[in-house]
Structure formats: structure tokens, C-alpha cells
Amino acid sequence: MSTRKSNWGRWGESDERGALNHLTPERVINALKIPKTGKTYGLSIPIQRSGVPNMEYRGAPQRLTLTNHEDEAMARANGGAPGVGANEDQLIIPSHTSTHMDALCHVYSDNKIYNGFPAEGMTPYNGADKCSIDKVGGIAGRGVLIDVAAAKGVAMLPAGYVITAADLQLALDAQGTVLETGDLVLIRTGWLEDFLDNQSDLLPQPGIGLEAAAFLADKDVAIVGSDNSAIEPIPFDQNIYLGGHIILLVENGIHLIENLNLRELAADKCYEFFLSIGALMITGATASPVTPVAIG
């Protein structure tokens, strides 16, 4: 276990929600007072086979039309008028597709996931026995956009750029924003906008380095999200594989949200907002697609 700050045991030895425990009813009520315009922002990107940053090794998501050849006969048998029927789909998708939330069981270090639970609790058929995505529950609180690209005066940070703690503080100061315990922090690099607009290369990508991850953990934030595919940069900072995930997910129980669409929030300079997130309650899953909604 690292000598860095750790939240293991902070909310009890059986805790599986990690830093989401910061989202007390009092903090949620205070966050409800933030919106001034009532404008809503959908922060997800489409789930589709191409045109979005799907990692090849995960496989492309599939939406298949579920055809019922006896649909009209079934409709008539149940009192339906001629021409009445229904359309349905079957979805086959990786849990880590498009805009998604990582569960605390997603990454392990020293053969342990968050709170010291053994990594061996992940099995092929049942999935994770601890810290799976169905443990997160409803999430709502104060959302904070940290627009690093804007603070640096660029539309997009350079490919592979490692965001430092100083970069985060520079952006916060430029925005006049102060981080608070339990914040749902969203970091803009500008990478996703460029990818969607230009179908640019998937790799490399900018993202937060190890120092920046530790900075956010020290601030006791509840969630860290970003507009890239791994929160941290690819290639990884200091060539430490999943180093930022280890600091945030494993050591501090901070859930991650990747591939966020932050374009409109940034354009409106909406740096503080009410944010609501709902993950699919997939038993034992390591992640879930999400559609976060911000209200400015």
C-alpha cells in the first residue's frame, strides 16, 4: 500500500462507496441552491459503433433491432388496430463504453481494490463481489468544471500532455473557483471535442498526472471526471501503468467518469452547477455507461 493519503477504513471496514460518502444530505441540499439559469447540460456522448472513442480491445457497442415476425398478429389478438405495433432493441455493449463511470472494483494494486478487499473477488461469471457499480446509488451534488485548456489559452491540450497540480490550481484561480469537500470535479482538456469534430487519432491523449491526482484526493472530492478516455494521460505519467487510477480509485475510493462532453459547459463558462449522475445497477459490474446532467 502506498504511503500517500488513503481512505481505506475511513467509512468503516465494510465500506464499498468510497468518497461518495462525502455526499451528505446537507451537501446535496446546498448544491440544489447553485443553479441560476435553470439551463440543463447533458454531458454524455452517443453510444454507437463508430465516430466515438471506442477502445478497440473492448469491442464496439452494438444496437440490434429486435424483430418480432408475429408482431401484427400479436397486436390484433390483444385488441390492437391494424398498423399498430412496437419496436424494440437489444444492446450488446462493453461496460466501459462512451461516457461511463468506473466502479471501485475496476482497478487493483498489490492484489487489492479499494478498502483492502482482495482482487480475487472478481470472477468471470459473477463479476465483482465488492465495490461493483451497483453499489454507487444515486449521485447528486456540487459539480465543478476545471477548464485547464482555457486556462492555458488553447482549444486543446497537446497530445500526451500531463496536467499538473499547478495547472489545476491555475485554472481554478482563473475561474475564481474554490474546491470543496464532496465536489464532483470535471476536467476539460479539449481532447474529446477535437476527436469528435475531426476524427483525430485516439492516442495519445492529455490527462491528469500523478501529482494532480494526489492533489484532487487531498481535496476530498467525491468524483473525478474528464473529457478523455482514461482521466490520466496516455501514455501514462512516469510510465506508471494506471497510476492515476490507483491513486483515485484504489487508494481513495474516488469514482471516475470518462469521455465527458464538456463543450457546452465550457462555452457558457459554467464552472459551478448542480450535477446528477445515475449508473445502471448492473450486479457485479466494473463500470456503467452514464448520462450526467448538469443544471447551471
CATH number of the domain within which 142 lies: 3.50.30.50
pLDDT digits (tens, 9 = 90+) for 221-255: 999 999 999 999 999 999 999 999 999 999 999 99
Query: pLDDT tens for residues 145-196?
Result: 999 999 999 999 999 999 999 999 999 999 999 999 999 999 999 999 999 9
On whether the CB atoms of residues 148 and 189 are closer than 8 A, the answer is yes
* pLDDT at residue 80 tops 80: no
69 located within any domain: yes
How many contiguous H segments (helices) and E segments (strands) does the chain have?
8, 15
CA distance 239 to 245: 13
pTM: 0.95
Report d(CA 32, CA 143) in Å as an integer: 11
Residue 178 sits in the same domain as residue 74: no
Domain residue limits at 133: 18-56+94-295
Q: What band does 68 get if pLDDT is binned at 50, 70 and 90?
A: low
Using CA atoms, how far apart are residues 152 and 150, in angstroms rounded to an integer? 5
Q: Is residue 52 part of a domain?
A: yes
Residues 87 and 188 in one domain: no
Residue 88 within any structural domain of the chain: yes
Q: Is residue 11 part of a domain?
A: no
pLDDT band at 266 (very low <50, low <70, confident <90, very high): very high
- Is the confidence at residue 69, as pLDDT, over 90? no
In a domain, 217, yes or no: yes
**Number of folded domains that form the chain:** 2
Shared domain for 67 and 108, answered yes or no, is no
